[in-house]
Structure 1
Amino acid sequence: MKRLIDLALALCAALVLALPIALLAALVRLTSPGPVLYWSDRVGRHNTIFRMPKFRSMRLGTPAVATHLLSDPHSHLTPIGSFLRKSSLDELPQLWSILKGDMSFVGPRPALFNQDDLIELRTRYGVHRLLPGLTGWAQVNGRDELPIPDKVMLDVEYLQRQSLWFDLRILWLTFVKVLRRDGVSH
């Protein structure tokens, strides 16, 4: 059932957002050299690796690590990178990952392939069995500001409480957070 809802929502969103996505792609292309999309290796369900697209918000040559691990993240941003990240518009290409079945709208955010501490904790607590999400319970409870153990405990809570109504609540809270730009540090 969740997969059918994901497909229906992703198709509708892709149709409604086609023009804004095209405009953002043009802006990325016009404001910095390099590809429009950044494809990162992410950890999916059962710790399988998949390629996840985002609008490129960082300059070419930026190390492939979590943003908080960069010594000066702002120096790596493209001219519109900060706007893309704070508005969460850089996430729109992930509709592709939802359509493809690598992600869901709601679930734990997919870890980077090299976030060994996060991957190990999620595996220990069974969170790795979940399909990663565009948003999740940890995102609406702190996002970038959460230490990894706290993030994993929220992922575990999601694992235990998952339901259509809980997903709808998380989607609503995500909408509110994105509008307020809460919890985005770069």
Structure 2
Amino acid sequence: MKRLFDVLLVLIILPFFLPILLVIWILIKLEDRGPALYWSKRVGTNNQIFLMPKFRSMKLNTPQVATHLLQNPDEFITKIGKFLRKSSLDEVPQLWSVLTGDMSFVGPRPALFNQDDLIELRTKCGVHLLRPGVTGWAQINGRDEIAIPLKVQFDEYYLKNQSLVFDIKIIFLTAFKVLKSDGVTH
């Protein structure tokens, strides 16, 4: 049921995003001649690595670590990248990962391949069995602002309480958070 919901939702919203995706693609290419998409190595279901697309918001050759671990993140973020991150539009290409089945609309956000502490804590409580999501319960409850152990507690709560109704609630709450740019630190 969840997979069917994911695919139907992508097919419904994708036509509305196509013109926006094209404009973003062009703006990225105009500012910085590199690729418009960045394929990030992420940890998926059962801790399997997959490639997750995002609009590139960072300059080429930026170290592959979580943004908050960079000494001066603003030094690496492009001008259009600041807007994309604040509006969460850099995440829209992840609809592809939802279509391919690597991700769901709702689930724990996929860890970077080198976030060993997050991966270990999620594995201990069984969260690694879930399909990662474009958004999740931890995103609603703090996003970039919460510590990893608390993030995993929210992920575990989702694991134990997941349902279609809960997913719909998270999607609506995400829309409000995105509109307010709530919880975005970089």
Q: Find the residue that maps to 1:80 and give its secondary structure.
A: helix
CA–CA separation in structure 1 for the residues paired with 2:27 and 2:168: 32
Q: Which runs of 4+ in 1 moved over 4 A?
A: none
Shift of 1:14: 1.5
Q: CA deviation at 1:22?
A: 0.8
Partner SS, residue 71 of structure 2? coil
Aligned mates of 1:165, 1:175 — CA distance in 2: 16
Correspondence 1:49 to 2:49: yes
Looking at structure 1, the residues matched to 127 and 77 of structure 2 have their Cα atoms a distance apart, in angstroms, of 31
For the residue of structure 2 that corresponds to 1:90, the secondary structure is helix
* Aligned position for 2:147: 147
Task: Say whether the 8 Å CA contact 1:106–1:170 is kept in structure 2.
Answer: yes
> Any gaps of 5 or more consecutive residues in structure 2?
none
Match of 2:113?
A: 113
User: 3-state DSSP class of the match of 1:112?
Assistant: coil
Q: Does 1:31 align with 2:31?
A: yes
Q: Is the 8 A contact 1:10 1:98 kept in 2?
A: yes
Matched residue type, 2:13: A
- SS of structure 2 residue aligned to 1:173: helix
Residues of 2 paired with 1:32 and 1:139: CA distance? 29
Partner of 1:163: 163
The question of whether the paired residues in 2 share the 8 Å contact of 1:32 and 1:79 is answered with no
- 1:12 is displaced (CA, Å) by 1.6
- For each residue in 1:6-62, what CA deviation from the matched residue of structure 2 results, as whole angstroms up to 9, or x when unmatched? 001111221221111111111111111200000010000000000000000000010
Q: Give 1:6's aligned residue.
A: 6
| Separation of aligned partners in 2, 1:29 and 1:8 | 31
Distance of 1:13 and 1:97 partners within structure 2: 14
CA contact (8 A) 1:107 1:136 kept: yes
Q: Which AA in structure 2 matches 1:60?
A: L
CA distance in 2, matches of 1:11, 1:100: 12
Contact 1:10 1:99 survives alignment (8 Å): yes
Aligned position for 1:76: 76
1:58 aligns with 2:58: yes
- Aligned-pair identity in percent equals 63
- Aligned Cα root-mean-square deviation (Å): 0.5
| Structure 1 segments unaligned to the other structure (5+ residues) | none
CA distance in 2, matches of 1:13, 1:45: 25
SS at match of 1:42: strand
1:22 aligned residue: 22
Task: Give the aligned partner of residue 87 of structure 2.
Answer: 87
Q: How many aligned residue pairs are there?
A: 186
Q: TM (normalized to structure 2)?
A: 0.99
CA offset digits 1:136-166 (Å, max 9, x no partner): 0000000001100000000000000100111
| Cα distance in 2 between the residues matched to 1:63 and 1:24 | 23
SS in 1 for 2:137: coil
Secondary structure at the counterpart of residue 54 of structure 2: strand
In 2, Cα distance between the equivalents of 1:125 and 1:68?
Answer: 25
1:104–1:134 CA contact under 8 A, matched in 2 = yes
